[in-house]
Amino acid sequence: MSFPESIRSIYQAQLAEIHHAGIFKEERFIHSSQSADIEVEFPSGSELKKVINMCANNYLGLSSHPEVIKAAHEGLETRGYGMSSVRFICGTQDIHRELENRVTEFLGTEDTILFPSCMDANAGVFEAILTSEDIMISDRLVHASIIDGMRLCSAQHDTFKHLSMEHLEEKLQLHADKRLKLVITDGVFSMDGDTAMLDKMVELCEKYGAMLLVDDSHATGFIGKTGRGTHEYCNVFGKIDIITTTFGKALGGASGGCVSGRKEIVEMCRQKARPYLFSNTIAPVIVSGVLKVFDILSGSTERRDKLEKNAAYWRKGLTEAGFILKDGNTPIVPVMLFNAKLSQDFSKDLYREGIYAIGFFFPVVPNGQARIRTQISAGHEVHHLDRALDAFIRVGKKYGILGLTHDQIVEKYGL
């Protein structure tokens, strides 16, 4: 029980380094519910500012949907607040299993197991199903939670170049002698907004006897004709061995995640996955809300259709204005600025204009690939997008980057 100056100074020095590197993260306090229009206190202690939110994972605009809130209230009344237990002791309610069945049906898999978050799902799944005789082969741009999960697993790991099917095939050949081979990818990549070629990956996995795991956190609910995810979009519905996904983004945005897939894999997670065994599962109030989300999604594709239209409108507007975007057709639309400082200055100016969008730079994205990542929602109306576009154009003009090529922006601002 001692925290002398000698210890404190170690942490102060580390925090100073983070500040110095320009990667210190400051939170902005939102005083309203999550939606397209929010009220924000930033910096801390300042007056509230009304801004348009262009950086939430609230893809379907369900975070504050009245029916979801009502269902959550009902869940709170009928199933209580907490479970005070992990699942296998006395922490499983009927609605937990009901939600697992709904997810299984929605994703077209054999079974599903809930986790407190998709971070936990990814942290637990690899160790539960692989041993040191096995190999994990992942796309080089998979989400940080997958990387952490792989670190916790004794299986060997290798990577293939982002979206390169030729390189993946080379790796499958290189590791042909391993007992089990698991190929791992995001469905939609969160920083670039591009999409895995799951049809080709399924083909390669079948050819080389490998399993396929897809983290579809940035796809479940809205990618594909009926929003089932990247596997629906790529016409391989029912062919993915393992899908991990989250309820913390499009599906109401509260928290929780799952592993959904082959029934033996799910059962192995139920028996061995440590975040499942040693942590309470999703609270009843959230389970009730997510069940309502699936009701809404099963009844109509209106929201994902509107999201698709909004994203296309936003992409077209930015392109016509002369911004450089990452290619893609998802609601993740990265506006490329390349220079780290420019991305931070641009974001601050947007905020002054009433637009909340964050600049990302190395190490979150590769060096020289700084950008403003915008995320479109079905909760946006055209007037939100028009206002945001006006602000982007004004700030873009201020920095003189509209219509410039990559090389011209780099020449002007450096990398």
Partner 1 sequence: MEEMNINEMKELILNYVVKEYIDDDDVKITCETPLISSGYVDSFSMVSLLVFLENRFKIKIPPSKATPEAFDSVNSIVALVNQYLKQ
Kindly state the smallest distance separating residue 315's Cβ from partner 1, in Å. 24
The residue from 32, 271, 367, 408 that contacts partner 1 (CB under 8 A) is: 367
DSSP string, 46-101: SPEEEEEE-S-S-TTS-TT-HHHHHHHHHHHHHH-S---S-HHHH---HHHHHHHH
What is the contact mask toward partner 1 in residues 109 to 138, using x (rule: CB under 8 A)?
-----------------------------x
The residue from 171, 218, 228, 249 that contacts partner 1 (CB under 8 A) is: 171
Q: Which residues are catalytic?
A: 190, 218, 249
CA distance 100 to 115: 10
Kindly state the smallest distance separating residue 286's Cβ from partner 1, in Å. 33
Shortest CA distance to 294 belongs to which of 221, 379, 230, 376?
A: 221
The residue from 156, 255, 279, 329 that contacts partner 1 (CB under 8 A) is: 156
Kindly state the smallest distance separating residue 175's Cβ from partner 1, in Å. 8
Shortest CA distance to 34 belongs to which of 12, 62, 76?
A: 62
Structure tokens at 221: 């609910």
Query: Is the distance from CB of 82 to CB of 93 less than 8 angstroms?
Result: no
**Residue closer to partner 1 (CB basis): 64 or 164:** 164
Q: Does 179 bind partner 1 (CB under 8 A)?
A: no
CA distance 412 to 415: 9
CA distance 292 to 296: 6
Residues 6+ positions from 158 with CB-CB distance below 8 Å: 135, 136, 137, 138, 171, 174, 175
Q: Does 362 bind partner 1 (CB under 8 A)?
A: yes
The residue from 49, 157, 239, 387 that contacts partner 1 (CB under 8 A) is: 157
Most distant CA atoms of the chain, gap in Å: 62
Q: Does 176 bind partner 1 (CB under 8 A)?
A: no
**Residue closer to partner 1 (CB basis): 135 or 259:** 135
Kindly state the smallest distance separating residue 142's Cβ from partner 1, in Å. 10
> What residues line the site for partner 1 (CB under 8 A)?
138, 140, 147, 150, 156-159, 161-162, 171, 174, 362-363, 366-368
